Amino acid sequence: MALQDKSDRIDHDGPKLVWQQVAEDVEAEIASGKLLPGAKMPAELEIASQYGVSRVTIRRAIKELAERDLLIVVHGRGTFVAHGATPST
């Protein structure tokens, strides 16, 4: 299955940090219902490839979203959209 190219959603020269842009984009997909509660996220390397960024950037974005209870990281299993995830505006 080919993953969607999301690299055009990232402005490397903009005022926001790249990891913040990735986190905001994932949050928007949760808010819109594109990512449903319980859905398993692709692997970090796959997400990094989608956005055209480094794995470190993806890890930072995932960490932020997990701290905000939008994602759940289960070591050895993967990262999932949290049940009852309510993005802040």
Residue 88 lies in a domain: no
Report residue 63 as tokens.
């960490």
- Torsion angle, CA of 56/19/26/10, rounded to 10 degrees? -110
Residue 26 lies in a domain: yes
Report the CATH number that the domain containing residue 30 is assigned in CATH.
Answer: 1.10.10.10
pLDDT along the chain (89 residues), means of 10: 85 96 97 95 97 98 97 97 72
In this prediction, residue 3 carries a pLDDT of 76
Query: Going along the chain, which residue ranges are E strands?
Result: 71-74, 78-81
In this prediction, residue 84 carries a pLDDT of 76
Q: Whole-model pTM above 0.85?
A: yes
In this prediction, residue 86 carries a pLDDT of 62
- Structural domain count of the chain: 1
Q: 25 lies in which domain range? A: 16-81
Cβ-based neighbour number of residue 77 at 10 Å: 9
Residue 59 lies in a domain: yes
